[in-house]
Amino acid sequence: MSSTPSAPLSSAPLAVAIVGCGIIGVNHARAIARLEGLTIVALVDSIPEATHRLADLVESELGIDRPGEFDGLAAAFAAVPVDLVVICTPSGLHVQLAEEALAADKHVVIEKPLDVTLPRARHIAELAADAEKRGRVVSVISQHRFDPASVVVARAAHNGAFGRLTGGVATVAWWRSQEYYDSGQWRGTWELDGGGAVMNQGVHTVDLLVWFLGRPVEIFAHTALLAHERVEIEDVAVATVRFESGALAVLHATTAAYPGLTVRLQVHGSRGSAVIDDDQLEYFHAAVDDQEVIDATNQAADLVGASDLRGGDRGADGFAVAHLRQYEDVVRAIRDGGQPGVRVEDALVSLAVVRAVYISATLGRAVSFDEVLAGKFDDLEVTTGGAS
């Protein structure tokens, strides 16, 4: 337990410690700084230069008081009151830091993915469940669940507006240079990155696909490393996913699509369909009443604002706004004593789908989602490319 108790929940902003001061930490700082309910009081990183750079940015660009700089959470907790710990480190370090923060009775936000292994992820899910009983909020970043386009599609999928859900197509067609993978020793490793295009770039899209279509039943996948060197993981993956509802989906994720295209997600049902492209609503149509469809009028403009329609101007701060929406949800949950919109158990399901992709590609056969989630393949050493 921390020697310095958390500040009482009042109208005062919640004190935030950001752990991991690289690119992701910078993005989170920019979002947090825009929310009156949060204030950054501590930056934590094992690399002093990283905390210095982010502290400079917080002070100069964001115009708020310079936060304290620490090389570990224990030092931060001993020095300043902290309410919320935000974990932005390499993926393989998420759980040990979350465990330390929860042991100190803090609220916690974890960047995606939850972790890179299911055993550790299950462990943090258990700890999070115990923390919730004590009134602590634990959330995992899935900011695209809060995009207006995603909210509209999820509502239609869940309330029957699309009729029986029949399928989906999700594709992440991005490009990452060799320099990207060479820029950090942890990048492109199974140990700390946890995987490639699916785990690192595609996990948000996997999360949305599962949110829209429901619980998966079976996954069959192939992976390959085709455009990069000196990495262990895949730069292209394809998979089919069968859901409990009977819906079938195709998942495609790559960092080998030069020069980099969009993230595109389609949802289809017996009474309607929708398309989200780069987080904006491109197409939406749901049949009215029980009449047969006589046209396919795009209803998207009636459902979201202009900035959330495909091609609309989201402004230069679109990334920060997306995270801001989720932070607003986290603050609401902390203030009201409720549950956040994205819980650890949600992130555990998405992680299990990603792991199922790698397990299937390694074994060269379809795998049961429930068996993956329950731990049947925990000891399997996954590889890129699978069986020849």
Residues 11-45: tens digit of each pLDDT: 789 999 999 999 999 999 999 999 999 999 999 99
Q: Is the distance from CB of 73 to CB of 44 less than 8 angstroms?
A: yes
Pairing of strands 367-368, 216-224: antiparallel
Which residue carries 């009449």 as its tokens? 291
pLDDT at residue number 7: 40
Q: Is the distance from CB of 235 to CB of 382 less than 8 angstroms?
A: no
Q: Is 112 exposed, middle or buried (0-12, 13-18, 19+ CB in 10 A)?
A: buried
CA distance 32 to 365: 43
Other CB atoms within 10 A of residue 13 CB: 17
Q: Encode pLDDT of 324-368 as tens digits.
A: 999 999 999 999 999 999 999 999 999 999 999 999 999 999 999
The first and second tokens of residue 39, run together, are: 């204030």
CA 199 vs CA 151, 252, 307: distances in Å: 23, 12, 29
Q: Is the distance from CB of 205 to CB of 267 less than 8 angstroms?
A: no
Q: In sequence order, what DSSP letters do the residues of 51-71 get, joined into one string?
A: HHHHHHHHHHTS-SPPPEEES
The first and second tokens of residue 70, run together, are: 């620490």
Which residue carries 């999928």 as its tokens? 157
pLDDT at residue number 293: 58
Q: 113: closest CA among 44, 4, 205?
A: 205
Q: Is the pTM of this model over 0.75?
A: yes
Q: Tell how far CA 138 is from the center of its chain.
A: 14
pLDDT at residue number 294: 66
pLDDT at residue number 386: 60
Alpha helices (H) along the chain: 23-32, 48-60, 73-79, 94-103, 118-133, 148-159, 178-182, 203-213, 318-336, 344-363, 369-374
Any idea of the CA torsion for 335, 7, 320, 315, to the nearest 10 degrees? 80
The first and second tokens of residue 235, run together, are: 């730069």
Angle (nearest 5°) at CA 210 between 205 and 216: 130
Which residue carries 């009775």 as its tokens? 105
When computed from its CA atoms, the radius of gyration of the chain, rounded to whole angstroms, is 21
User: What per-residue string of b and e applies to 249-284 under the rule 16 or more CB within 10 Å gives b?
Assistant: bebbbbbbbeeeebbbbbbbbebbbbbbbebbbbeb
CA distance 154 to 368: 25
Pairing of strands 107-110, 84-87: parallel
Amino acid symbol at 6: S
Q: Is the distance from CB of 65 to CB of 59 less than 8 angstroms?
A: yes
pLDDT at residue number 313: 92
Any idea of the CA torsion for 55, 59, 65, 67, to the nearest 10 degrees? 0
CA distance 316 to 144: 17
CA distance 94 to 282: 35
Q: Which residues of the chain have pLDDT under 50?
A: 1-9, 387-388
Q: Is the distance from CB of 123 to CB of 93 less than 8 angstroms?
A: no
Strand positions, DSSP E, 255-339: 263-269, 272-277, 280-286
Other CB atoms within 10 A of residue 32 CB: 26
